[in-house]
């Protein structure tokens, strides 16, 4: 039984077949739908052959029920579609390549490469979409899969999106036959973010390691309970050990430090374990070459939510250079102190001992002058007068030198001194000069300072004395003020005198240096040298600011006590 449509077609072509034995279906197998008596339909295979009997042609038909085959084919088609839908919907990018070209890409793979349809990539060489850095690897992988049929273990390589941007891809390949071609089934994932994060981390680690090496600072971390300890590369370098051979721990670490410093280190670590915040600890590390490295260690306890110490983190810093220069400085300071003391003693002894013979010369010269004045010729009178004057000047110089050396050798201890009182005393000592010059000296309220009161008086006296001595045409006006600056008092003695040329500002503090002749202004040039020495002995400084013709201001500092 055949369905109506088939029957109609049969009736159209069959008469011609009977005559010629020719027909489209002859010699072929055709799939048809047959109908049973009960009206149900089923698939059949119809094979037709033509046989001639006399003038007529007969058709020999072989009909086979193919219901089971059809069912199997349907099931296969369904399963293939199911499989394809899994691949199409997989979140993971999957593609098939054969002969080095893309043959199939699932939507996730298309998205990965930045394609909107597979026509943009299908049948294109895979290598065109691989970053030059990864081309050698991918070329070799394609060969391995296609020629040897071997799988490729997971890899990370650089690919290119269609817009040219770089993709870091993690993937794996299994050999796969696609539509009869030998190729590979490739599972890939975009790991650009992860790679970037890893690169950033690597860059940060590099930066940390470089900065630690430049600063010669290493760091470490120890878990208190397990004792697990990690060191940075610089920490290993500072202790002169290799990370390949040395396993850092509380015990092994102590063995690296100088035996004399080990007890202190043990105590330090004990305090850490007891949960105390430990102070800095300095220790030495003997190195292979026999030298010693000085290290400053600093640690910090890390506590958990219940405030229990769980970890210690810390840094170790190489302070060898600092210690060496400190030692050198100490040595130099000692040397300097010694030579300074020697010099002071020399100046004192020399000036003190010179006084005696000079007094003799001076008194005999004066005797000579008194007794023989006018009795010898006029030249002799003049010569004797020169000699008397020279001896006087020499005496003055020796006195000055003695006064200068006494600033340190005969100075008194520092006590709290009312600077106002010292100033008052200085002004009392200057009564004659003030009266004579009609000077007006004013001052701000002055603080209590830690000083040698006699020397503070001398300082004020010398500066105010000079302010009066080096006056201009106007009657001298002198003002003493003070200002607190951070850790020191800055005193100023300001005048309206002749001023000092900028090029002489430093010279005037040197012993016996003067800018004028004794005839213009009397003096020996010792005053400011003494003032400078007094200021320095008190831990301060002395300097001047001045404008020729407009007056000068001398400043000196005294440290604020207790700071
Ligand atoms: P002296 O007063 O004995 O000359 P000083 O050491 O006190 O020695 O001063 C050195 C030089 O500094 C002085 O000769 C003078 O030229 C200059 N000088 C000091 N104080 C003043 C001042 N207030 N004004 C101008 N010049 C000054």
- Residues flanking ligand 1, CB < 6 Å: 466-467, 470, 495, 497-500, 508, 514-516, 523-529, 552
| Residue-level pLDDT at 49 | 79
The arithmetic mean of pLDDT across residues 275-289, rounded, is: 90
Q: What is the pLDDT of residues 360-405, one digit of tens each?
A: 998 998 898 899 988 888 899 899 889 988 888 888 888 888 888 8
User: How far is ligand 1, taken at its centre, from the CA of residue 479, in Å?
Assistant: 17
Residue 48 predicted with pLDDT over 80: no
| Residue-level pLDDT at 2 | 62
Share of the chain above pLDDT 70, in %: 98
Probe residue for ligand 1, chosen from 472, 528, 553 as the CB with the greatest number of ligand atoms within 8 Å:
528
Which CATH code is given to the segment(s) 411-559?
Answer: 3.30.565.10
Mean pLDDT of the chain: 90
User: How far is ligand 1, taken at its centre, from the CA of residue 532, in Å?
Assistant: 13
Class of domain 4-65: alpha beta
| Residue-level pLDDT at 1 | 55
User: How far is ligand 1, taken at its centre, from the CA of residue 404, in Å?
Assistant: 16
Q: For ligand 1, atom 21, which residue shows the shortest CA distance?
A: 466
Which CATH code is given to the segment(s) 83-190?
Answer: 3.30.450.20
492-517 burial: b if 16+ Cβ within 10 Å, else e = bbbbbbbbbeeeeeeebbebeebeee
Q: For ligand 1, atom 7, which residue shows the shortest CA distance?
A: 527
| Residue-level pLDDT at 457 | 96
Domains 4-65 and 83-190 alike in fold: yes
User: How far is ligand 1, taken at its centre, from the CA of residue 522, in Å?
Assistant: 10
Share of the chain above pLDDT 90, in %: 54
Q: What are the extents of the domains in the chain?
A: 4-65, 83-190, 208-318, 324-393, 411-559
The arithmetic mean of pLDDT across residues 322-343, rounded, is: 91
Tokens of 487: 């850790």
User: How far is ligand 1, taken at its centre, from the CA of residue 528, in Å?
Assistant: 7
What span, in angstroms and rounded, lies between the C-alpha atoms of 255 and 262?
8
Quick one: pLDDT band at residue 258, thresholds 50, 70, 90?
Answer: very high
User: How far is ligand 1, taken at its centre, from the CA of residue 524, in Å?
Assistant: 9
Q: Which ligand 1 atom minimizes the distance to the CA of 524?
A: 3
Quick one: pLDDT band at residue 562, thresholds 50, 70, 90?
Answer: low
**Pick the residue with more confidence: 450 or 8?**
450
DSSP H or E segment with residue 50: strand 41-53
| Residue-level pLDDT at 509 | 93
Probe residue for ligand 1, chosen from 430, 437, 508 as the CB with the greatest number of ligand atoms within 8 Å:
508
| Residue-level pLDDT at 81 | 83
What span, in angstroms and rounded, lies between the C-alpha atoms of 459 and 482?
14
The arithmetic mean of pLDDT across residues 29-37, rounded, is: 83
Q: What is the pLDDT of residues 157-215, one digit of tens each?
A: 999 999 999 999 999 898 988 888 999 999 999 999 998 999 999 999 899 889 888 98
| Residue-level pLDDT at 563 | 56
Q: Which ligand 1 atom minimizes the distance to the CA of 462?
A: 7
The arithmetic mean of pLDDT across residues 45-64, rounded, is: 79
**394 CB burial (10 A radius; 0-12, 13-18, 19+):** middle
User: How far is ligand 1, taken at its centre, from the CA of residue 187, in Å?
Assistant: 94
Cβ–Cβ contacts within 10 Å for residue 434, how many?
A: 19
User: How far is ligand 1, taken at its centre, from the CA of residue 513, in Å?
Assistant: 9
Segment among 71-85, 162-176, 430-444, 514-528 with least mean pLDDT: 71-85
The arithmetic mean of pLDDT across residues 99-112, rounded, is: 94
H and E: helices and strands count for the chain: 14, 20
Q: For ligand 1, atom 12, which residue shows the shortest CA distance?
A: 508
Q: Which ligand 1 atom minimizes the distance to the CA of 498?
A: 25
Q: Which ligand 1 atom minimizes the distance to the CA of 529?
A: 6
Quick one: pLDDT band at residue 115, thresholds 50, 70, 90?
Answer: very high
Instruction: Find all residues with CB under 8 Å of 179, minimum gap 6, and list them.
Output: 103
User: How far is ligand 1, taken at its centre, from the CA of residue 87, in Å?
Assistant: 101
Assign domain 208-318 to its CATH architecture.
2-Layer Sandwich (3.30)
User: How far is ligand 1, taken at its centre, from the CA of residue 469, in Å?
Assistant: 8
User: How far is ligand 1, taken at its centre, from the CA of residue 442, in Å?
Assistant: 20
The dihedral sign for the CA sequence 96, 97, 103, 106:
positive
Statement: the pTM of the whole predicted model exceeds 0.75: no
| Residue-level pLDDT at 57 | 80
Probe residue for ligand 1, chosen from 466, 515, 550 as the CB with the greatest number of ligand atoms within 8 Å:
466
Probe residue for ligand 1, chosen from 470, 479, 503 as the CB with the greatest number of ligand atoms within 8 Å:
470
């Amino acid at each position: 039984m055949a369905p109506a449509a088939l029957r109609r077609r049969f009736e159209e072509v069959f008469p011609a077949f009977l005559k010629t034995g020719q027909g489209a279906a002859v010699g072929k197998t055709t799939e048809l739908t047959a109908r049973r008596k009960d009206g149900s339909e089923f698939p059949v295979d119809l094979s037709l052959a033509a046989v001639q009997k006399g003038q007529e042609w007969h058709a020999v038909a072989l009909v086979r029920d193919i219901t089971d085959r059809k069912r199997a084919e349907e099931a296969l088609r369904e399963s293939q579609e199911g499989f394809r839908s899994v691949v199409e919907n997989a979140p993971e990018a999957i593609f098939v390549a054969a002969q080095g070209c893309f043959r199939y890409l699932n939507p996730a793979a298309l998205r990965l490469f930045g394609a909107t349809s597979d026509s943009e990539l299908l049948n294109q060489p895979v290598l065109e979409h691989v970053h030059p850095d990864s081309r050698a690897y991918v070329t070799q992988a394609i060969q391995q899969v296609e020629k040897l049929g071997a799988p490729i273990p997971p890899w990370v390589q650089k690919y290119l999106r269609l817009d040219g941007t770089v993709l870091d891809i993690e993937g794996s390949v299994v050999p796969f036959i696609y539509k009869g071609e030998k190729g590979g089934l490739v599972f890939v994932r975009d790991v650009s973010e992860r790679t970037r994060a890893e690169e950033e981390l690597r860059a940060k680690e590099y930066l940390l390691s470089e900065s630690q090496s430049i600063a010669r600072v290493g760091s470490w971390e120890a878990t208190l309970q397990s004792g697990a300890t990690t060191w940075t590369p610089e920490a290993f370098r500072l202790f002169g050990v290799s990370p390949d051979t040395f396993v850092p721990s509380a015990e092994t670490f102590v063995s690296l430090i100088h035996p004399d410093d080990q007890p202190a280190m043990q105590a330090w670590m004990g305090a850490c374990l007891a949960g105390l915040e430990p102070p800095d600890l300095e220790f030495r590390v003997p190195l292979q070459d026999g030298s010693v490295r000085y290290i400053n260690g600093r640690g910090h306890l890390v506590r958990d939510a219940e405030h229990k110490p769980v970890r210690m983190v810390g840094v170790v810093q190489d302070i060898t250079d600092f210690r060496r220069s400190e030692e050198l400085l100490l040595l130099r300071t000692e040397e300097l102190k010694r030579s300074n003391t020697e010099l002071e003693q020399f100046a004192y002894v020399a000036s003190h001992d010179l006084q005696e013979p000079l007094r003799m010369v001076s008194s005999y010269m004066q005797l000579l002058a008194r007794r023989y004045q006018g009795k010898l010729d006029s030249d002799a009178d003049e010569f004797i007068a020169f000699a008397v004057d020279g001896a006087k000047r020499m005496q003055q110089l020796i006195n000055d030198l003695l006064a200068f050396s006494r600033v340190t050798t005969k100075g008194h201890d520092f006590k709290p001194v009312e600077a106002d009182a010292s100033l008052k005393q200085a002004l009392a000592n200057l009564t004659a000069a003030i009266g004579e010059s009609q000077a007006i000296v004013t001052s701000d309220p002055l603080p209590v300072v830690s000083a040698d009161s006699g020397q503070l008086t001398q300082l004020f006296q010398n500066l105010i004395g000079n302010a009066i001595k080096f006056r201009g045409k106007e009657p001298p006006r002198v003002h003493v003020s003070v200002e607190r600056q951070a850790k020191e008092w800055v005193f100023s003695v300001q005048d309206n005198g002749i001023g000092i040329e900028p090029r002489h500002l430093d010279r005037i503090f040197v012993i016996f240096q003067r800018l004028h002749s004794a005839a213009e202004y009397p003096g020996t040039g010792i005053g400011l040298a003494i003032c400078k020495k007094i200021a320095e002995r008190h831990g301060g400084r002395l300097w001047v600011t001045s404008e020729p013709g407009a007056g000068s201001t001398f400043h000196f500092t005294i440290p604020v006590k207790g700071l």
